[in-house]
Amino acid sequence: MKVVISGYYGFGNTGDEAVLAAIVKGIKARGPQTNICVLPRRAWGQIIGELFSADLLLSGGGSLFQDKTSRRSFFYYVGIIILAKLFRKKVMFFAQGFGPLRRKLNQRIAAYVLQLCDLITVRDHDSYLKIIELGVDKSRILETADPTLTLPVPVLEKGKNLFGLETLKANNQLLVGIAARSLNRVSSNRLFELLAKTADWIHENHGYYPFFFLFQSPEDREAASKILGYMHGNSTVNFRVAKPDEILAIISQCDLLIGMRLHSLIFAAINAVPMIGLSYDPKVESFMKSIDQPYIDVEKELDFETVKKKIEAVIANRREVKLALEKKKKELVEKAERNFDLLWKLLVSPA
């Protein structure tokens, strides 16, 4: 059997590569001999050939049905699904976030294409509601969770041996991980100043040493550099984009995480690390709601007192937060694993 995967892979984004690693792991756990192919980007001759020989197209994960970053990207991903259905292939819309789709035409196209899919799973409740609003039959949509939640918890010693953390942890240094990204907005510099002030404050008042890591370059490298330029205290930056298992191991060493990148927050949940989400996109807010953890809307709550108040609450209740995350993680892992059970059932069922 052959599964073809369509998604934003191969572009150096650690979060997306973690999604792909989790998908491959989940499929191989159920069918070790399954042939898995990741579609090349816009190489239509090869795409047609791979789809023609496939048994199932897996569209996802991530947030592929959105027009916030690019209309071309949206049309590309819906085009892949339409092509697969022209070849009479099974299609699973797999553990995706949905939207935002700002244009009415794109919303109508999305509704049509989703109706073509044999199975739809979404990674959060907000995405579930948005698809229902398009008129898609809710009985065909299942709310699951992001597949990266099925990745194994790293061995703690591995995290200590990465990027010089062993020295910090040997001295029992509290560590705050920061995963920031650039925004194509005027508010970026204001956000970077706020994060610099926050990093200095949390070090001076609570003893948490700031450690910056990158999920994608050059976007995150630029963000970290600008934050450092505003800071007065010491910090450490890993200027190399780490692999998914390395980032998981690094975050396992953190005592607190401040994250803009969605998968930095998901990785914190995997490791039961207390966190604050910085929501620049609905997907971040949706995930933080799903785990009942605090977040800050960078468009509406961008002030130091709000950030400080929320961080102090997390620090004051960190033991309770860790226990709550451990409990929530079990539920989310079960929901994430369901994606693969459903995929496998669809794959082996008669056409």
Output the DSSP codes for 99-155: ----SHHHHHHHHHHHHH-SEEEESSHHHHHHHHHTT--GGGEEE---GGGGSPPPP
Supply angle C-alpha 321, 323, 329, rounded to 5: 100
Name residues whose C-beta falls within 8 Å of residue 80's C-beta, 6 or more positions apart in sequence: 6, 39, 47, 51, 57, 59
pLDDT of 46 higher than 80: yes
Q: In the predicted model, what is the mean pLDDT of residues 95-124?
A: 96
Q: In the predicted model, what is the mean pLDDT of residues 136-159?
A: 87
Beta bridge partners of residue 18, listed in sequence order? none
Q: How confident is the model at residue 198, as a pLDDT?
A: 97
The single-letter DSSP state of residue 243 is P
pLDDT of 345 higher than 90: yes
pLDDT of 186 higher than 80: no
Q: How confident is the model at residue 165, as a pLDDT?
A: 66
pLDDT of 160 higher than 80: no
Q: In the predicted model, what is the mean pLDDT of residues 186-209?
A: 92
Average model confidence (pLDDT) for the chain?
92
pTM above 0.75, yes or no: yes
Strand order in the sheet with 35-38: 35-38, 2-6, 56-65, 90-98, 119-122, 141-143
Domains in the chain (CATH in brackets) are: 2-143 (3.40.50.2000), 156-330 (3.40.50.2000)
| pLDDT band, residue 351 (cuts 50/70/90) | confident
- 2: helix, coil or strand? strand
Evaluated on CA atoms 83, 146, 124, 307, the torsion sign reads negative
- Structure-token pair, residue 38: 């990741």
Q: In the predicted model, what is the mean pLDDT of residues 213-221?
A: 89
Q: Over the stretch 253-310, which tens digit does the pLDDT of each residue have?
A: 899 999 999 999 999 999 999 999 999 999 999 999 999 999 999 988 888 999 999 9
Residues 221, 239: contact at Cβ < 8 Å? yes
Q: In the predicted model, what is the mean pLDDT of residues 136-161?
A: 85
Give the count of beta carbons closer than 10 Å to the beta carbon of residue 87. Answer: 12
| pLDDT band, residue 70 (cuts 50/70/90) | confident
Q: In the predicted model, what is the mean pLDDT of residues 332-338?
A: 97
pLDDT of 42 higher than 60: yes
Torsion of CA 121, 123, 124, 127, to 10 degrees: -60
pLDDT of 164 higher than 70: no
